[in-house]
Amino acid sequence: MWGTPETARSRKTCHRPAPEEIMDIRGKTVLVAGGTSGLGEGVARHFSARGANVVIVGRRGAVAARIAADLGVNALGIGADIGDAEAVAAVVAATLDRFGTIDVNVNTAGILAPVVLVTEAGRPSDTTVLTRLVSTNLIGTFNVMSHAAAVMLGNDPDEDGERGVIINTSSVAAHEATTGLIGYAATKAAIEGMTLPAAREFAGRGIRVNTIVPGGFDTPMVDDYVDEDTKAEGVKQFLNPRRLGTPDEFAAFAAHIVENRYFNAASPRLDAGYRMPP
């Protein structure tokens, strides 16, 4: 509704019938990049339990295949480095061969590694680690978005004109990263920066694009980077609940974004009110 409260009240309200139901996940094909552990595995398992076809993509092909076998005939596991556009194209080709299309793309693949501007010896840092972060977190996400969207544009639209949904994963580090996370923060901020222009690119063409901004979640990546004492101290910064989030909570939020067809071009936080301290 637009205009002042007075003009709004004076206008005759026009009601457009809403779609009969939210988007049905059952039978949809969901491509999950980073699906071999953590948030991505949680997404794959959650969507599979909701009746979707799931394609699990990760560097560890054997793990992807094992998870797919555990989920059953409506799951496919593929090993790939998403930083390689040709590898992503092969993943999409295998997905189309198995399931015929892609309806939803959830990108959780990412790596976490420390980067500083100046070393302890007082020398400028090289860009080796930064390049690796950019290749996986940013270029990898871009590659999967691009290839998935090209398929979605060929899908038949529903009554709202929708053809597909893309969900990316940022981090609270994009907003308040601590020392040593400059490279990781830069890549995650860039992913959020892609959200609105991507959604605008597909305006009127039926693809929604959103980015979830998670806080502290109980994942192997966090285990590798943060010791137990630091975790225990960190959860004191959470408002409610004071614990790490679970991959299933992330997955449930992703499912809500898919189902709620009015959710677009947004980067909502999922963090229990957490703000990363310096």
pLDDT digit string (tens) for the chain, length 278 residues: 455 555 555 445 555 555 555 789 999 999 999 999 999 999 999 999 999 999 999 999 999 999 999 999 999 999 999 999 999 999 999 999 999 999 999 999 999 999 999 999 999 999 999 999 999 999 999 999 999 999 999 999 999 999 999 999 999 999 999 999 999 999 999 999 999 999 999 999 999 999 999 999 999 887 776 778 878 888 899 999 999 999 999 999 999 999 999 999 999 999 999 998 88
The pTM of this model reads 0.92
Of 215, 195, 191, the closest CA to residue 270 belongs to 215
184 is catalytic: yes
Contact between residue 39 and residue 108 where contact means Cβ atoms under 8 Å apart? yes
- Tokens 């953590």 locate to 38
Contact between residue 220 and residue 194 where contact means Cβ atoms under 8 Å apart? no
Q: Report the distance separating Cα 148 and Cα 101, nearest Å.
A: 9
Bridge partners (DSSP) listed for residue 212 = 169
DSSP code for 139 = I
Q: Report the distance separating Cα 191 and Cα 186, nearest Å.
A: 9
Q: Report the distance separating Cα 224 and Cα 219, nearest Å.
A: 9
User: What's the pLDDT at 223?
Assistant: 75
Of 81, 39, 33, the closest CA to residue 222 belongs to 39
User: What's the pLDDT at 21?
Assistant: 58
Domains of the chain: 23-268 (3.40.50.720)
> Six-digit token pair at 123?
């020398």
Q: Report the distance separating Cα 206 and Cα 162, nearest Å.
A: 4
